[in-house]
Structures are given as C-alpha cells and as structure tokens.
Structure 1
C-alpha cells in the first residue's frame, strides 16, 4: 500500500512540475519541428527517400512475382518453409 501511495505521489509531483515548464518547452519543440518540416533541404531528402522506397517496393514485388511459378513456393508445397504443415490439411 505504501508503494502505491509513493507512486501516486511521484506521479502527481511530476505532473505539477511538468505542467509548469511543460507548455513553454512544448511550444519550443513544436516550433523547431515546424521549421525542420518546412526546410527545403529536408523536403528534398524526404522526396528522394519516397522515390527510393517506391522503387524498392516495386522491385520486391517483381522478385516475388518471378518466384511464384518456380515450384518452390509456399502454396505449392504441403509443408511450410520450416518443414511443418501449413495447418490447412485435414488431420
């Protein structure tokens, strides 16, 4: 019971202390984040990352499609990749 009271007391103290300085610090962080988001250099890198991700995703899809007809796919076998049954067979 004493531990619970200490935890509740610590939480209440943290809330009060955080509320006093918290809003001002939050505004500082939010302002800096907004500046970072609107920075042209950052926007350029974000766009580059999006293109790289799209290219990687389409490449992965193409590789997956090319392997589905090879006979070693998961669906064509009665066992899964680890040698155990898929679980859809009748016992």
Structure 2
C-alpha cells in the first residue's frame, strides 16, 4: 500500500511496511466505528490508523495538511479493505 502526501511543498510517497495481525484487528474495530456516527474524534482515529498502517513515517498533522480532503475517507477505507481483504482471501482458501 502507498500514500502520497505533500510535505513542505514536495510530494512524498510512503509505502506501508509489514502488516501485522494487530493491524488486522485494528482494521475490523475501526471499520465498525466508521459505520456509526462520524465526528472529529472518529476522523482523528481514522487518521491515526493511517499513520500507524504506514509505520509512523509521517505525523497525523502531516497527513491532515498534506492529503487531499476529498480523498481522505476513501483512502482510509481502501487501506482497511486491503488489510481485511488479505485476511478474507486466506479464509476462503
């Protein structure tokens, strides 16, 4: 998984490192939360999830300031689905 942020006027691309089973657990928990009422606290949880998935290579503030608002939630959902999709594919086989 990759994410591109604008930091100090430059586009920087980050690649997610090893995805542990704990991140799978976090993905399921956050997925349930996102389906409920959404507020600024939930937005922070989603942002922190992305920061964590990408191995803390950037901060929550860098994510907020450097990622397009109109793509934020779709990117989070896409990455959660990728993490959970790996699990789903293994269960099916």
Q: TM-score, normalised by structure 1?
A: 0.22
Q: Which protein has the larger Cα radius of gyration, Structure 1 or Structure 2?
A: 1
Q: Which has the higher helix share?
A: 1
**Structure (1 or 2) with the greater strand fraction:** 2
TM-score by length of 2: 0.22
